[in-house]
Structure 1
Amino acid sequence: MHDLKISIITVAYNAQATIEQSIKSVISQDYNNVEYIIIDGNSSDNTVSIAQKYREYISVLVSEPDKGIYDAMNKGIALATGDIVGILNADDFFAGNHILTVVSDAFKNNNTDIVYGDLNYIKPDGTIRRKWVSGEYEKGKFNFGWMPPHPTFYCRRELFERFGNYSLDFGTAADYELMLRYLHLNHLSVFYVKQVLVQMSIGGVSNSSIKNRLKALLFDMKAMYNNRIIFPPVTLVLKPLRKLRQFF
């Protein structure tokens, strides 16, 4: 079997503080068959000039206005030619140089549609704030507030053609909704890699204010109803409760 081609999509907007670490973590991978796509939302800082320093390693570099992070991801998916697609945000970085080899092996050895793993939340000083240990997926687990960390979520590119891209109708919950649609609603095959794949810098859009948090909850609820979660109000309560153990 040939080496699977992995398309890594990094979406960025005014990410000059973090994008270099993200890029370096991609280009230092020991896996050779990688297509690296950077979609920038017309940044007004030095994001693009930092990316240009590594242009020889970047297959596609686009900088233009977009409708937000998930629109940018969809642009990247449309440009991707790999067998497998993964998203690495501009403030995330791989947990080691062998992560894409691990991901490729998981697909090849398990004949699966989707692979996911564990994630650490990293404070600005480099120490770990939270550990997101995903655990094995079982049918119905989303009903109890479970979800895998989206930055560790890899899937076969053809799934986007068959089951759709990120829907902009779900705001900040577009990644959650896509994973619900693929795993909970359509029962696609999935394999859990029991190791940390991605380190995530702390500070996301959806957690920035009470108003944004409430909007995020409404988007979560809409995603649950759309994808046949049994009793969304209960799942909405359980979802944040599951995060508590990540601190211990």
Structure 2
Amino acid sequence: MEKKISIITVCFNSVKTIEETIRSVISQTYSNFEYILIDGGSTDGTLEVISNYKNHISKLVVEEDHGIYDAINKGIILSTGDIVGILNSDDCFASNEILFHINNIFLNSQVDMCWGDVNFLNYDGQIVRKYSSSFFSKNKLRFGIMPAHPTFYCKKELFEISGIYRTDLKIAADFELILRFVLKNYKYCYLPLTMVNMKIGGISTKGFKSTLTIIKEIHFSCKCNRLYTNYFFLVLKYPFKIFEFSIFNIFK
């Protein structure tokens, strides 16, 4: 039996990108999904763009929120799907078969959550980096290494049993939630597929200040979930990211 998939998009003043995001959802060949949009009260024309696609949107909430994770939580609470995933308002699915593959992995495997790969694009649409979740393991969480959150899909019941996103974390609540779920020993799998094209410039990629915030919040998340780490471990992943970026640009 097909799984119903809930896709949540959170947006605020995203007029330049929201249409591409919406179109990548409604063009999916898999049809058993609901699309939930949570808007923080946009004033730049985002809502006018959304209104052009109102027949494709299952639920629309327009109200002030207390940050991106608060808005995502609203979408999770409203969701009625068996499976839930997040598609940010400046991201889009990498093909029109993504939901088809997500349904198959949950239908044919005894998994609770899955993730895949992501392309990082500049605002000219050029791929500047690829991130693969294939190398993820539980032990790497202590180094702040996680699977690509834009490709993260899980059973709705996991949120009901183990909680939703922490709203006291500004940037790393996605890390904390995946850490929490992995340490609960929910069964996960890697989907060998580029699932999302993600534009650089989000809250987690805005320079040195945000990097310091991420490190502090990841350290806090590990401590709260009783996973040992230290700041030296967490800094080690950044030379790897630079190496990954350099290798991609040499061989692309």
**What are the equivalent positions in structure 2 for 1:173-192 lying under 5 Å apart?**
173-183=172-182, 185-192=183-190
Q: Secondary structure at the match of 2:137?
A: coil
CA 1:182 to 1:34, structure 2 compared with 1: closer, same or farther past 3 Å?
same
Partner of residue 139, structure 2: 140
Please report the RMSD computed on the Cα atoms of aligned residues, expressed in angstroms.
Answer: 1.4
Indicate the larger mover: 39-48 or 136-145: 136-145
Report the Cα offset of residue 225 of structure 1: 1.3
**Residue 130 of structure 1 pairs with residue 129 of structure 2:** yes
CA distance, structure 2, for counterparts of residue 153 and residue 145 of structure 1: 16
Corresponding position of 2:59:
60
**2:250 aligned partner:** none
1:156 aligned residue: 155
Q: Distance in 2 between the 1:121 and 1:207 partners?
A: 11
Contact 1:170/1:223 (8 A) holds in 2: no
The count of residues paired between Structure 1 and Structure 2 equals: 246
- For residue 237 of structure 2, the aligned residue among 222, 235, 239 is 239
Unpaired stretches in structure 1, ≥5 consecutive residues: none
Q: Matched residue of 1:172: which SS? A: coil
Equivalent of residue 211 in structure 2, options 204, 210, 213: 213
Aligned-pair distance for 1:142?
A: 1.4
User: TM-score normalized by structure 1?
Assistant: 0.95
Residue 121 of structure 1 aligns with which residue? 120
Please, which of 177, 189, 200 is the counterpart of residue 198 of structure 2?
200
Taking only the aligned residue pairs, the percentage that are identical comes to: 48
Q: Which residue of 2 aligns with 1:167?
A: 166
d(CA) in 1 for partners of 2:216 and 2:142?
16
Cα distance change of structure 1 residues 214 and 63 upon mapping to structure 2, 3 Å threshold: same
- Aligned counterpart, 1:6: 5
- Structure-2 residue corresponding to 1:44: 43
Deviation, 1:218, is: 1.3
Alpha-carbon distance in 2 for matches of 1:120, 1:186: 29
Letter in 2 for 1:192: Y
Shift of 1:126: 1.4
Runs of 5+ unmatched residues, structure 2: 248-252
Distance, in Å, in 1 between the alignment partners of 2:243 and 2:51 is 40
Deviation at 1:209, TM superposition (A): 4.3
- Structure 1 window deviating more from structure 2 (111-120 vs 144-153): it is 144-153
Q: Distance in 2 between matches of 1:208 and 1:244?
A: 15
Instruction: Report the alpha carbon displacement of residue 136 of structure 1 after superposing the two structures with TM.
Output: 4.7
